Amino acid sequence: MVRVERVHKRYRNGPPVLAGVDLALTPGAPAVLAGGNGSGKSTLLRIVAGCALPTVGRVTGRPPVVGYLPDRFPAQLRLPADAYLRHLARIRGTPPDPGLLERFGFTGPRREPMARLSKGNAQKVGLAQALGAGVGLVVLDEPWAGLDVAAADTLADLLDEVAAEATVLVTDHTGRAARLPGARHLRLRDGRVEDAPAPAAAEPTVAIVLRCPEPEQVRHRLGVPGLVDGGRLHLRAAPTESDPLLFAALRLGCSVESVGPA
């Protein structure tokens, strides 16, 4: 069990970022840490992963093999992705897991410098190094950022698999972590961590763009919130309400410019 005991962190000349965090993390299900911007989530994750020491307090029971994904995986190296993953596996003392990149649907060049990768592909390399074989503690800072839908689903599946044996701690702003089965939800507020209720998964919505002769009036007649921009009316609706809304808008003389996922 990874135990975070009375951890305080203060950077030079700054206010305290963490003010007495107590946390016990166990394998079995991923732990999801929420908190506002600048609340200290990334600082806590760096301390749990072993990249930084707390000013006061300690972390005990950290397993020998740790996988860490920072908030934005930089990938500015001249090494190609394949070579980077081989080196990182050797540094961890675990066998490389070349199939992971394929599972994430990595489409970038494997033998060219990582600095040339797109943001999404770089993120997949970062995830592949963090989730490789033999890992005992996985710490992922905003792992869904920049991932396409298929890779985001793969990550959810992988976290479920990995969490069976390893301790998993993630942060997330995309809402994906809310749908992780059995996840434990935590919130960081005022430098302390508390258990939090699972956030409600966001309903999928449809974004509609209409071109109307009098958009302000149409918006009023339709009775829905929306944004007027030039001659266009931007609306959002639940999938079940989108058809009646479009029908009504067409009858009011609008033409549909686009309909798509929000």
Partner 1 sequence: MLGRVGGAGVTAVAVARYLLADAVRSQRVVLPVVLQVAVLAVLFGGDPGRLPAPWGASVLTLYPVAAWLALTIAHTEDPVQRDVTVAAAGGVGPVAAGTLLVALAGDLGLAVLSVLWPVVVTPYPASPSIILTGLLAHLAAGATGTAVGLLCARPWIRRVGRSLLVGAVVVIATAVQPWLPPVGSTVQALADGAGPGAVVLPAALALLLAVLVTWASSVRARRD
Q: Which of 133, 201, 202, 238 binds partner 1 (CB under 8 A)?
A: 133
Q: Which of 17, 21, 41, 73 binds partner 1 (CB under 8 A)?
A: 73
CB of 200 to partner 1, least distance (A): 33
Alpha helix locations (H) across the chain? 41-49, 81-92, 99-103, 119-130, 149-163, 215-222, 239-251
What whole-number distance in Å separates Cα of residue 136 and Cα of residue 118? 29
What whole-number distance in Å separates Cα of residue 160 and Cα of residue 177? 11
Draw the binding track, 112-131, toward partner 1 (x: CB under 8 A; -: no contact): -x------------x--xx-
What whole-number distance in Å separates Cα of residue 165 and Cα of residue 84? 25
- Provide the 3-class DSSP secondary structure of residue 237: strand
50 binds partner 1 (CB under 8 A): yes
226 binds partner 1 (CB under 8 A): no
Scanning residues 52 to 71, which ones bind partner 1 (CB under 8 A)?
A: 52-53, 63-71
In sequence order, what are the beta bridge partners of 115? Answer: none
User: What does each C-alpha distance from 183 to 34, 43, 176, 195, 256 come to in angstroms?
Assistant: 12, 21, 11, 12, 41
Draw the binding track, 157-196, toward partner 1 (x: CB under 8 A; -: no contact): --------xx------------------------------
Angle between helices 119-130 and 149-163 (to 10 degrees): 10
Q: Closer to partner 1 at the Cβ: 98 or 134?
A: 134
Q: Closer to partner 1 at the Cβ: 52 or 209?
A: 52
Q: Which residues bind partner 1 (CB under 8 A)?
A: 46, 49-53, 63-79, 83, 87-88, 90-94, 113, 126, 129-130, 133-136, 139, 165-166
